[in-house]
Structure 1
């Protein structure tokens, strides 16, 4: 086991010293024309693609619950692009599925907290390794928002409990964090708005387990939480859960959800 892990680590080329997070970004949430494109990438600043996030598990879940595979139509160094076909009216879940990433060097502190990338420089502890799993979702719709929660019950997921495409500024939406179909008690949800790093300086990265951003949300014992958006436009929710598998290896489960928050009807007609 020791030799296998060391061999894998030696073969992994670090993509960056920082901790990147996964996202999916549609060019349309309310799909009104055939030029639908969804961008898949890793980033430090949503929604700016740093490097491509490919996945063997891209899927689209139709309003009737049918799950179909999606194949990328293009790939650059920065992003992968999807062009799913919507065959009926209703809400669709676009997902990377659970994506197995590299094994990284990490540090385990005395209180059993796990750090990797740049975070390793500011803590002391014993050397260990971490397998990074990523999961990214977004929801789009055509016509009416026919929506029902459809968790995959595999890996870490952020599941909207009502239509995520009906979220308006000044309103709220309920979610549940699940891992392998079971609630994640007290999960910490990182909330980010598009381009917020241009308006305020961010001290910690999004992955940082010590992240104490004022916008953070903590779920209840059933993994449920309510999101009250503070800004219209693209919003990003992100969750991390760590598990120690053995003395040499941890796993880091990570899930993100991209949402569009619209202005309420009375504000849309104002200049």
Structure 2
């Protein structure tokens, strides 16, 4: 077996929001996986409330919890742009639950924070890379690399009037689905624009998939996959009211990294893990 020095990273992100359209954004960096991360606030429009409860899980269907998101640095970014770490979540088998305070009116970004996955291996056959299953080894003579995935799930909630846009500023690091506009204003039939960024720079030709929660009941689960343009931008137009998840995955080499990897998935709701 030939081992290639260096690491690979994969990332993903998700997000969510409310009014008639709610979006959650999911970002995944690393090997592709069937399960997507998401964070889902108890409400997207928190009028009259001073806090919301977040549900965080990995799932194959939008907002149907299956595996709790563990070891994630949950955080909230307020209208003033300040990011605060949340308390340790309560864990069940299928979800993590954590409360977030909304002390003032405005739009908030609710996030899992950048979660680092376990170290694994990937090998190449021709131009195809394959993840090595647990307890297995790559084929003899195969070129292999260490690989680790990172995940980031976001959602946006609004208390009262949107006001300052501090929570909507780009992070400018890792994989990111950045809303180009106020996620709390998304509406059925209206276009919602985003830019896909990695380390603050636009990613061109990156596939972005939009999942529809109501598809669990009528079969239309995945309603769109579009590629980002040269400026890293995508525009999506949800036809119905409801909650949506937007997912992006990205894989890249990380030469010189201490321990490996890189690929990101994102999803969005009318907001950023994101659910729309």
CA contact (8 A) 1:45 1:195 kept: no
Structure 1 match to 2:27: none
Structure 2 distance, partners of 1:242, 1:49, is: 25
Contact between 2:214 and 2:242, CA under 8 Å: does it hold in 1? no
CA distance in 2, matches of 1:55, 1:174: 31
Instruction: Indicate the residue corresponding to 1:241 in structure 2.
Output: 250
C-alpha contact (below 8 Å) 1:106/1:129 kept by paired residues: yes
- Counterpart for residue 161 of structure 1: 180
Distance in 1, Cα, partners of 2:190 & 2:220:
27
Instruction: Report the alpha carbon displacement of residue 66 of structure 1 after superposing the two structures with TM.
Output: 1.2
The structure where strand makes up a greater share of residues is: 2
Aligned residue in 1 for 2:205 = 186
> Shift of the alpha carbon at 1:109?
3.9
Match of 1:220 in 2: 229
- The answer to whether the 8 Å contact 2:123/2:132 transfers is no
In structure 1, the partner of 2:11 is none
Q: Deviations over 1:100-130 (max 9, x none)?
A: 101234343422x434389xxxxx9755442
Unaligned runs of 5+ in 1: 6-16, 119-123, 203-212, 263-271
Determine helix, strand or coil for the equivalent of 1:165.
Answer: helix
Q: From 138, 141, 144, give the equivalent of 2:158.
A: 141
Return closer, same or farther for 1:115/1:240 CA change in 2, 3 Å cut-off: farther
Measure how far apart 1:50 and its partner are.
1.0
- Residues 192 and 214 of structure 1: CA distance in aligned 2, closer, same or farther (over 3 Å): closer
Match of 2:44 among 29, 43, 49: 29
Instruction: Work out which structure has the larger RCO, using CA pairs closer than 8 Å and 6 or more positions apart in sequence.
Output: 2
Alignment-derived partner of residue 46 in structure 1: 62
Assess, with a 3 A threshold, how the Cα gap between structure 1 residues 117 and 71 changes in structure 2: closer, same or farther. farther
Whole-angstrom CA distance in 2 between matches of 1:249 and 1:68: 28
Give RMSD over aligned pairs.
3.0
Distance 2:85 2:129 in 1: 34
* Deviation string, structure 1 residues 182-226 (Cα, Å, up to 9, x no partner): 111111101100042443387xxxxxxxxxx66101111111111
Give the distance between the partners of 1:216 and 1:152, measured in 2 at CA: 24
Q: Does 1:91 align with 2:107?
A: yes
**Structure 1 Cα separation of the partners of residues 170 and 121 of structure 2:** 31
Measured in 2, the distance between the counterparts of 1:195 and 1:31 equals: 22
Displacement of 1:252 after TM fit? 2.0
Displacement, 1:243?
A: 1.1
- Give the counterpart of 2:84 among 68, 72, 80: 68
Q: Which of 263, 272, 275 is matched with 1:252 structurally?
A: 263
2:148 aligned with 1:131 = yes
1:4-19 equivalent positions in 2, closer than 5 A = 19=34
Alpha carbons 1:43, 1:50 under 8 Å: kept: yes
TM-score, scaled to structure 1: 0.75
TM-score of the aligned structures, taking structure 2 as reference length:
0.74
Alpha-carbon offset, residue 84 of structure 1: 0.7
Long gaps (5+) in structure 2: 7-31, 134-138
Change (3 A) 1:167 1:150: same
Task: Decide whether the 8 Å contact of 1:24 with 1:258 is kept in 2.
Answer: no
